[in-house]
Amino acid sequence: MCNLSGIAFVRNQLSAPEVAGSRVLEVGALDVNGSVRPVIEQLGPASYLGVDIAPGPGVDELCDVTDLVNRYGEDTFDIVISTELVEHVEDWRAAFQNMKRVLRPGGTIVVTTRSRGFPIHGYPWDYWRYEPEDMERIFADYDELTTARDDEAPGVFIKARKPTHASADAPLGDVALFSVVAGKRTLRVRRSADLVFRLGFLPARLLRPFQPLRNKLSLRTRARRLVKHLRA
C-alpha cells in the first residue's frame, strides 16, 4: 500500500532505463489504498513479483519479509521496493537485512515508511517510526542514498544503491528507533509492553462487528433528540 506522495517518489526515482528488463520484487505488496505496481510495470520490467503475508490484490506469493533470503536466495533481484511496510515489522533489522541480501550488487532499493507524529495504524501490529537519520545509519553500507520527507504526512522515503563490490553490512545492533509501543526510542520492543499495547486495542476489535448497530442506534438517538427539540 502507498499514498500518492509515496507513489510519486517511486515513480520519480526509478527511470525507464533502470526498470526495463529488470527483475523487480515488491515487499508488502497488498494493495490497500494504492500501489506502485502499475507505475513500474509500465516501464517494462522483465518480471514483477509482489509478496506479502496475506493474500489479496497485488500479491503474487505469500512470504514474510524476514524469510526472503530463504525463499528466493541472495543477489536475486535488480530492484526491491517496499512501501509502508517496515513500520509494521517488529524485527525491523531482519526485514532490512533480508531486503538487502536478495538485492543483487549494483541493484536499487526504494523504501517508504512513516515518521514520528503519524498516528498508530494497522492495529495492533504497528511498531516503529523512522527519520532520515535512521535511514542514513541503516543504509550506511550502500551508495547513492537519497532521502526525502513525505509532504502529505509524517514519513520518510529513501532510494539507495547496493555497492557493486563486497562490503560489510552496516551494524544495526545499536540503532534505536522510535517505538509507538514504548513511546520513546528503543533498541527493541519488550514482550510485556507489546502485550499491553495489543490488549489496548482488543475492545475496539471485539466491538467492530457491532459497529453498524451502534451507528444505527446513534442515529436513532440523535433523531429522537432532534424531534424533541423541535417539539419544545
**How far apart (Å, rounded) are the C-alpha atoms in residues 88 and 126?**
4
Q: Residue 25 is inside which H or E element, if any? A: strand 23-27
Global confidence as pTM: 0.84
Q: What pLDDT, in 10s, does the model give residues 24-79? A: 999 999 998 889 999 999 999 999 999 999 999 999 999 999 999 999 999 999 99
124/219 same-domain check: no
Q: Mean per-residue pLDDT for 83-89?
A: 96
Residue whose cell numbers read 520492543: 189
In a domain, 167, yes or no: yes
- Whether residues 121 and 15 fall in one domain: yes
Q: Phi and psi for 220 in degrees, rounded to 5?
A: -65, -40
128-129 and 177-179 beta bridge pairing: antiparallel
| Segment 156-199, tens digit of pLDDT | 999 999 999 877 889 999 999 999 999 999 999 887 767 766 66
| The C-alpha cell that represents 67 in the structure block | 524469510
pLDDT at 122 over 90: no
Say how far apart CA 181 and CA 129 lie, in whole Å: 10
Same domain, 75 and 28: yes
User: Has residue 193 been placed in a domain?
Assistant: no
Has residue 195 been placed in a domain? no
Same domain for 65 and 178, yes or no, is yes
Beta-carbon-side half-sphere exposure of residue 41 (alpha carbons within 13 Å)? 10
Q: What angle do CA 181, 187, 191 make, to 5 degrees?
A: 50
Number of domains in the chain: 2
The SS3 assignment for 125 reads: coil
Same domain flag for 139 and 46: yes
Domain that holds residue 228: 201-232
Question: Is 161 in the same domain as 108?
Answer: yes
Closest CA to 174 of 93, 229, 116: 93
